[in-house]
C-alpha cells in the first residue's frame, strides 16, 4: 500500500516535471494543447509505473491496457477542461487546469492491471 502511494507521488511529480521538456519539441497551440498534454501525461505516467514495478517491491507490473486506460482518462480530463470549464470551477480546491488530465491519467493507470 505504501509503495502504491509512493508511486502516485512519483508519477505526479515525474509527469509534472518531465512533460514541459517533452512538449517543448511539439509545436501546438490553442485547445489542442490540452489533448497533447494529456497524451504526454499518460505516456509518462505509464513509463514511470513500468520502471517502478521493477524497482519497488509491492508494485505489480501493468500491461498495455493500463496505458490505454490512462490515455482514455487523460483525454476525458482534457475534454472536461475544454468543454465543461464550469464543472472544473465548481471544485472547491483551486488548481491549474492541466492538473485535471494528469490526475485522471494516474487514476486510469490504477484502474487496470
Could you tell me which residue, 66 or 85, shows the higher pLDDT?
66
C-alpha cell at 91: 471544485
pLDDT of residue 1 exceeding 90: no
Instruction: Give dist(CA 18, CA 66) in Å, integer.
Output: 20
pLDDT confidence of residue 61: 86
First to last CA, the chain: 15
C-alpha cell at 30: 490553442
Instruction: Give dist(CA 49, CA 20) in Å, integer.
Output: 19
Give the phi and the psi of residue 26 in degrees, each rounded to 5. -115, 105
Instruction: Give dist(CA 105, CA 56) in Å, integer.
Output: 20
Q: What is the pTM of this model?
A: 0.90
Instruction: Give dist(CA 51, CA 77) in Å, integer.
Output: 25
Q: How confident is the model at residue 97 (pLDDT cuts 50, 70, 90)?
A: confident
pLDDT tens figures, 48-63: 999 999 998 888 888 8
Q: How confident is the model at residue 91 (pLDDT cuts 50, 70, 90)?
A: confident
Averaged confidence pLDDT in the chain: 91
Amino acid at each position: 500500500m505504501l509503495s502504491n502511494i509512493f508511486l502516485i507521488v512519483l508519477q505526479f511529480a515525474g509527469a509534472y516535471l518531465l512533460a514541459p521538456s517533452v512538449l517543448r519539441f511539439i509545436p501546438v497551440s490553442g485547445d489542442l494543447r490540452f489533448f497533447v498534454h494529456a497524451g504526454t501525461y499518460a505516456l509518462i505516467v505509464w513509463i514511470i509505473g513500468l520502471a517502478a514495478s521493477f524497482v519497488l517491491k509491492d508494485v505489480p507490473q501493468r500491461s498495455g491496457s493500463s496505458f490505454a486506460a490512462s490515455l482514455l482518462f487523460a483525454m476525458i480530463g482534457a475534454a472536461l477542461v475544454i468543454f465543461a470549464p464550469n464543472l472544473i470551477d465548481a471544485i472547491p480546491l483551486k488548481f491549474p487546469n492541466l492538473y485535471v488530465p494528469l490526475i485522471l491519467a494516474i487514476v486510469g493507470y490504477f484502474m487496470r492491471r
